[in-house]
Amino acid sequence: MLDPLQARPLSVNLCPKPRRRELILFQAHSLSKLTLSQPFLPRVSKACVEICCDSDFVADGLNFCVRFVPFFFSRCKKRWFVYYSVDGGFCRVQSKRMKKPIVALLMVIFFSAFNCFNAEEAFDVRKHLSTVSRYGAVKEIANGNFIPSKVPEGCVPTHLNLVARHGTRSPTKKRIRELDNLSLRLEDLIKDARRRNLHLERVPSWLDGWKSPWQGRLKGGELISKGEEELYDLGLKIREKFPSLFDEEYHPNIYTIRATQVPRASASAVAFGMGLFSGNGSLGPGKHRAFSVISESRASDIMLRFHDCCHNYKHFREKQEPAVNKLKEPVLNEITSALIGRYGLNFTRQDISSLWFLCKQEASLLDITNQACSLFGPSEIMLLEWTDDLEAYILKGYGNSLNYRMGLPLLEDVVQSMEQAIQAEEERRPPGSFEKARLRFAHAETIIPFSCLLGLFLDGSAVDNVEFKKIQKEQPLQLPPKPPQKRTWRGSTLAPFAGNNMLILYSCPAQDKSKSKHFVQVLHNEHPIPMPGCDGSDFCSFEVFKEKIVAPHQKHDYDTVCNPKQEPSSGSMYQMFQWLFSLSKDLSIDPV
């Protein structure tokens, strides 16, 4: 249960230069305690009188909140009208009996309460945490306007590629230190408020004496139990959805499982495999079985950790990060000012950034939404989410073609696995002699560029997508629009914890030998998703997939994209030093 918020005045902007008294609204424990100053008088015009109000909160209770959108009153011909904002427009309420402004105000409160109740009920902060979102909170979010293709009768899946992010994890060591510093900072802010004789009723009680749930931890970033469950359940669901692909006795050459060397990725692979192969072994009550997970060195894994091995990308990111922080500053400044006014504490921009991070960790890992997250209103949360999405767009996504072109080895590996499956089918190899699934577990830095290579999550029509043509030509795209404008690029659906892309190869009957009999379907977070390269369909021929989606990215190989041209240097000792220096930098990067 939330702590009751004490009564406090809120700023209300009236129409320009009101003639007499100002309207003051108080935030109270309940609607019954809503307090107004003496009846106020409106601004007088020739034919009508108007009162304009613009407020955030009207009343706040233990479990009830009335949120206000801008509204104004208008009185014409002895009748009062109420206009209140809905989705950027204004709705009008009128009544012959509405002859006093106080009646009009009560009408606004009623409609605001009704709209607020529905909005609050629908708004779930756990769906707005960008790439820190938990899979279960966002996996059902899909493009409601897209009608998935119906797989033709007679088509059977012959191979499956999976590229998945690790499951929900704890904060990294660096972030744990940030939360410890936040605890000390909040303590200082409370002390400062007491020195200034600030009424602490305005300050949420949890802030006083708050300590990080991860206080004292020396290590972090590991897969937590919720993350294990996400991948275990995903393994179960994939086997249930494609039973014909997983009906054979396990062999590492039939079901290839790869993960990065980062422990949370390999642990995710293990959890997934336990679900996928459960009941097929002899170990324990669940009849589990052992299986192999392959990992390559961080310093040379250009398949799943291409971002770590790409020198040009690391240089690009280092240069861009200050510019990205500059783009986020106006939003953080705006919200910092809002929270200072709301709670009276002398927050800084860094405080707001750390509190937003705490909100994401509490909501995603601990299911706590009534502490750090409750400091922000829904519109503020959506703005903060946008800043995170903006960062992912610029540093990992469509913001620069280098971000996704360096993922070409992964895309080519996917295509190669499909070609091998087609060859096995054409040669009529017996079951158990060819691969049926290639399963990979990595990071947000892997799944986001890979999704960009496929042309997913672009704004505009997937059928005739201008932006898709631009990325094929390596041209820059516009940044994701700022809320309240709608956008397709959202980290919470693009790369949540355990987010995944599946590419399923189908073999279909073809009477006409000139037509393709092999097709590719793409699923994102288990839902069919339109591909601009396939004319907006989630299902297209393998030849079209290679021609329209893969081939345009093959203009450059990985070395050309990632490694700067270097002058030949003399001496093997110098080369050895360069290699060791590169390796040490690679090992220092903390993946998401």
pLDDT tens digits in sequence order for the chain, 592 residues long: 333 333 333 333 333 333 333 333 333 223 332 333 333 333 333 333 334 433 333 333 322 233 333 444 455 544 555 544 433 333 444 443 444 555 555 555 555 555 544 444 579 999 999 999 999 999 998 887 889 999 999 999 999 999 999 999 999 999 999 999 999 999 999 999 999 999 889 999 999 999 999 999 999 999 999 999 999 999 999 999 999 999 999 999 999 999 999 999 999 999 999 999 999 999 999 899 999 999 999 999 999 999 999 999 999 999 999 999 999 999 999 999 999 999 999 999 999 999 999 999 999 999 999 999 999 999 999 999 999 999 999 999 999 999 999 999 999 999 999 999 999 999 999 988 999 999 999 999 999 999 999 999 998 766 567 889 888 888 888 999 999 999 999 999 999 999 999 999 999 998 776 677 999 999 999 999 999 999 999 999 999 999 999 999 999 899 999 988 655 444 444 444 444 444 444 444 556 7
Beta bridge partners of residue 76, listed in sequence order: 48, 79
Which tokens is 545 given?
């997939």
At residue 68, the pLDDT reads 37
* Residue 294 burial (CB count, 10 A): 12
**For the chain, what is the radius of gyration of the CA atoms?**
28
At residue 142, the pLDDT reads 83
Are the C-beta atoms of residues 450 and 410 closer than 8 Å to each other?
Answer: yes
45 φ, ψ (degrees, to nearest 5)? -120, -175
Terminal CA-to-CA distance of the chain, rounded, Å?
Answer: 33
At residue 515, the pLDDT reads 72
Alpha-carbon torsion angle 102, 108, 112, 113, nearest 10? 40
Length of the chain: 592
Domain ranges for the chain: 126-169+222-308+393-560
Are the C-beta atoms of residues 377 and 55 closer than 8 Å to each other?
Answer: no
Helix (H) or strand (E) holding 317: helix 311-343
Beta bridge partners of residue 505, listed in sequence order: 159, 520
The owner of tokens 């105000």 is 105
Residue 461 CA to its chain's centroid (Å): 22
Please give the CATH architecture assigned to the domain spanning 126-169+222-308+393-560: 3-Layer(aba) Sandwich (3.40)
Distance CA 107, CA 158 (A): 62
Which tokens is 519 given?
């097709």
* Residue 240 burial (CB count, 10 A): 9
Which tokens is 235 given?
């393994």
β-pairing, 255-259 with 437-442?
parallel
Are the C-beta atoms of residues 462 and 536 closer than 8 Å to each other?
Answer: yes
Tell me the whole-structure pTM to 2 decimals: 0.79
Which tokens is 361 given?
């960790």
The owner of tokens 């894994």 is 301
| Rounded alpha-carbon distances, angstroms, from residue 192 to 187, 228, 337 | 9, 43, 17
Residue 125 CA to its chain's centroid (Å): 11
Which tokens is 157 given?
């899946």
Q: Quickly list DSSP for 85-152.
A: EETTEEEEEE-TT--SHHHHHHHHHHHHHHHHHHHHHH--GGGSSGGG--HHHHTT---TT--PPPPP
Start-end of H helices in 344-407 = 349-361, 378-396, 401-405
* Residue 419 burial (CB count, 10 A): 15
Q: Name residues whose C-beta falls within 8 Å of residue 445's C-beta, 6 or more positions apart in sequence.
A: 305, 307, 396, 591, 592
Beta bridge partners of residue 75, listed in sequence order: 49, 80
